């Protein structure tokens, strides 16, 4: 069987496949094996950034921390962190753009994830150059990743693209040698145990994720 490395764009995956579902407590090793029957799953690299609490959700960072600790117990999974940057930004109101009148500007606190897509692309190219696998699986629909995917293919590495948004009929932005679609059965059948044992104690699935 071909050896595959899996690269997960964490926030792209979250918003495309598990937000608003009971499948957030995902075992990415079990999920990858379910998605890639006939392949050996070598490594899974999960790229994300730590979130900050919001007034309307004061415990989201705690839930994320619990989940990242749970992922760290899976031998094949490596969590690679970027960062969030929040700054004030002036944006036009949609109604003023549509009307063609003078733009009405509002100041918002704009939060952007920094580093994850660049890091994911760099790992794809590095691993392709060093032949750490025969197949690369990219779980994302971020068009910024097309260049590293093309580089890996030119090096003779098979690339499979998994679009987390496909079930929502979003147009594909990434293209490789093959593709996989995420089905509800892949997610439902790949959940972590309700309690995960770590060296520091027992982690419980967040109650709001049930």
The domain spanning residue 200 has which CATH number?
A: 3.40.50.1010
Helix (H, G, I), strand (E, B) or coil at 18: helix
Q: Does residue 159 belong to any structural domain of this protein?
A: yes
* Per-residue pLDDT tens digits for 139-172: 999 999 999 999 999 999 999 999 999 876 677 8
Dig out the tokens for 27 from the structure: 């075992």
Q: What is the pLDDT of residue 152?
A: 98
Dig out the tokens for 95 from the structure: 């109604």
Number of domains making up the chain: 1
Q: Does residue 101 belong to any structural domain of this protein?
A: no
Distance CA 28, CA 10 (A): 11
Q: Does residue 105 belong to any structural domain of this protein?
A: no
Distance CA 51, CA 63 (A): 10
Q: What is the pLDDT of residue 26?
A: 98
- pLDDT surpassing 90 at residue 115: no
Distance CA 75, CA 130 (A): 21
* Per-residue pLDDT tens digits for 12-35: 999 999 999 999 999 999 999 999
Helix (H, G, I), strand (E, B) or coil at 188: helix
Q: Does residue 89 belong to any structural domain of this protein?
A: no
Residues above pLDDT 70, as percent of the chain = 89
- pLDDT surpassing 90 at residue 87: no
Q: Does residue 203 belong to any structural domain of this protein?
A: yes
Q: Does residue 86 belong to any structural domain of this protein?
A: no
Whole-model pTM: value is 0.88
Sheet of 39-48, strand order:
77-81, 39-48, 2-9, 135-139, 158-162, 178-180
Q: Does residue 90 belong to any structural domain of this protein?
A: no
Domain interval for residue 176: 2-81+115-209
Distance CA 203, CA 62 (A): 12
Phi, psi of 121 (to 5 degrees): -60, -40
Q: Does residue 175 belong to any structural domain of this protein?
A: yes
**Residue 76: exposure state from Cβ atoms within 10 A (0-12, 13-18, ≥19):** middle
């Amino acid at each position: 069987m071909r050896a595959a490395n899996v690269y997960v764009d964490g926030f792209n995956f979250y918003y495309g496949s598990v937000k608003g579902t009971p499948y957030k407590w995902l075992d990415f090793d079990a999920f990858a094996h379910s998605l890639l029957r006939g392949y050996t799953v070598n490594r899974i690299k999960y790229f994300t950034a730590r979130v900050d609490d919001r007034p309307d959700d004061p415990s989201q960072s705690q839930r994320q921390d619990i989940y990242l600790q749970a992922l760290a117990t899976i031998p094949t999974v490596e969590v690679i962190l970027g960062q969030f940057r929040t700054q004030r930004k002036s944006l036009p109101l949609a109604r003023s753009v549509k009307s063609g009148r003078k733009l009405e500007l509002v100041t918002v606190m704009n939060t952007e994830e920094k580093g994850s897509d660049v890091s994911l692309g760099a790992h794809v190219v590095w691993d392709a150059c060093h032949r750490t696998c025969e197949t690369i699986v990219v779980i994302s629909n971020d068009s910024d990743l097309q260049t590293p995917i093309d580089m890996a293919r030119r090096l003779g590495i098979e690339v499979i693209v998994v679009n987390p948004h496909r079930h929502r009929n979003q147009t594909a932005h990434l293209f490789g040698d093959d593709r996989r679609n995420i089905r509800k059965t892949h997610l439902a059948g790949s959940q972590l145990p309700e309690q995960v044992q770590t060296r520091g104690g027992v982690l419980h699935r967040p109650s709001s994720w049930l």
